[in-house]
């Protein structure tokens, strides 16, 4: 009887060990490389990032991702530039500027091409296109040097022959107050991004007179890049396989989101969107994802940098370091 109990105990212990080892194989591994991933708080990048974590796609590719949102753009950029995080989302022009200033920050993969950057006006506005903005008061959420503001100025200057910043008609305000400024008439048009742009359009009170990413593509033939993923040289040099593994996991997370648009449901409901608004948000975000990263794409960004340096203040992207971009880790 004692021997039978001993054998049963051994079998049970072995079974538990097998279950434990199986769980470890499917989930986190002790040798997975930790990656601290930074983003703006409440950013739509958080949807695919959370999918990556929930579906354990990070562990599938040998990394252990921790996602952190920052309430301000300055806080996010300081964290990325100061190596308080290992990778982060942000405007590629900002990262390129950091590189030119001597900070070892490098763009390693595209995220969004600007398909959710819309210039909005009240639904009853007389303005019908970006051409009508000449002499009008325009608000941008992105600050004076934000990538979206740079795109707005390049598009208006190069394709419509005016620059609202040069005439004092461009102002910079927080994104949350742009609808109120449109309502009061303090501005005639406002540049917004998703989810705020979708929420405004879905309300029925505002409409788009121009999508910046689409217009840039139509005029130049190049896909714009709004948001990219960046890392720093020290982390990338020490962990090249981890950076490559993270990008593969990100790509798989994006494909999961495309195949399962229901992941937008809870996010949209928190925003107060109805089903039509949620569907609109999903369609726009999925269309915004950029997943091709090669020298041809980067050549298009260099062409944009030339346009931007002519429009923006002296010193903005006058010098675009070749090592501001790397395709070394791309899937």
Cα(9)–Cα(42) distance, rounded to whole angstroms?
50
Domain boundary residue among 220, 238, 271? 220
Question: How far apart, in Å, do the first and last CA atoms of the chain sit?
Answer: 59
In a domain, 104, yes or no: yes
Domain boundary residue among 171, 198, 220? 220
Same domain for 194 and 245, yes or no, is no
Domain that residue 124 falls in:
118-220
Same domain for 91 and 148, yes or no, is no
Same domain for 136 and 214, yes or no, is yes
Same domain for 103 and 242, yes or no, is yes
Peptide bond into 212 cis (omega under 30): no
pLDDT digits (tens, 9 = 90+) for 52-111: 999 999 999 999 999 999 998 889 999 999 999 999 999 999 999 999 999 999 999 999
In a domain, 216, yes or no: yes
Same domain for 234 and 216, yes or no, is no
pLDDT digits (tens, 9 = 90+) for 270-282: 999 999 999 999 9
Q: Which of 76-80, 142-146, 212-216 has the lowest mean pLDDT?
A: 142-146
Please give the backbone phi and psi of residue 38, each rounded to the nearest 5 degrees, phi first: -110, 145
* Cα–Cα nearest to 192, from 230, 235, 149: 149
Q: Residue 67 pairs with which residues in a beta bridge?
A: 37
Same domain for 234 and 109, yes or no, is yes
Cα(46)–Cα(257) distance, rounded to whole angstroms?
11
pLDDT digits (tens, 9 = 90+) for 228-253: 999 999 999 999 999 999 999 999 99
Q: How confident is the model at residue 319 (pLDDT cuts 50, 70, 90)?
A: confident
Same domain for 123 and 204, yes or no, is yes
Domain total in the chain: 2
Same domain for 122 and 205, yes or no, is yes
Record the tokens describing residue 275, joined without a space: 């089903």
The Cα angle at residue 55 between residues 276 and 105, in degrees rounded to 5? 90
């Amino acid at each position: 009887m004692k021997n039978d109990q001993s054998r049963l105990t051994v079998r049970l212990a072995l079974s538990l060990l097998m279950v434990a080892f199986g769980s470890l194989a499917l989930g986190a591994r002790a040798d997975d490389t930790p990656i601290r991933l930074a983003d703006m708080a409440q950013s739509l990048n958080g949807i695919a990032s959370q999918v990556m974590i929930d579906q354990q796609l990070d562990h599938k590719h040998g990394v252990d991702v921790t996602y952190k949102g920052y309430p301000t753009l300055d806080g996010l950029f300081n964290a990325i530039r100061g190596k308080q995080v290992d990778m982060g989302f942000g405007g590629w022009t900002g990262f390129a500027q950091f590189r030119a200033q001597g900070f070892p920050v490098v763009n390693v993969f595209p995220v969004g091409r600007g398909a959710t950057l819309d210039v909005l006006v009240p639904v009853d506005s007389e303005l019908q296109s970006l051409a009508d903005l000449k002499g009008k008061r325009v608000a941008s959420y992105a600050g004076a040097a934000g990538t979206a503001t740079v795109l707005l100025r390049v598009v208006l200057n190069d394709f419509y022959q005016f620059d609202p910043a040069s005439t004092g008609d461009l102002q910079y305000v927080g994104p949350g107050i742009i609808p109120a400024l449109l309502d009061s008439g303090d501005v005639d048009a406002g540049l917004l991004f998703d989810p705020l742009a979708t929420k405004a359009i879905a309300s029925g009170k505002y409409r788009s007179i121009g999508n910046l990413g689409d217009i840039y593509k139509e005029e130049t033939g190049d896909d714009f890049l709004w948001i990219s993923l960046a890392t720093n040289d020290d982390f990338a040099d020490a962990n090249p396989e981890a950076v490559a593994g993270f990008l593969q996991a990100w790509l798989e997370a994006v494909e999961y989101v495309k195949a399962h648009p229901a992941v937008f449901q809870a996010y949209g409901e928190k925003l107060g969107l109805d089903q039509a608004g949620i569907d609109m948000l999903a369609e726009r975000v999925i269309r915004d994802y950029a997943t091709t990263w090669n020298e041809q794409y980067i050549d298009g960004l260099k062409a944009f940098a030339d346009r931007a340096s002519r429009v923006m203040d002296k010193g903005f992207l006058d010098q675009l370091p070749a090592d501001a971009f790397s395709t070394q880790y791309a899937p």
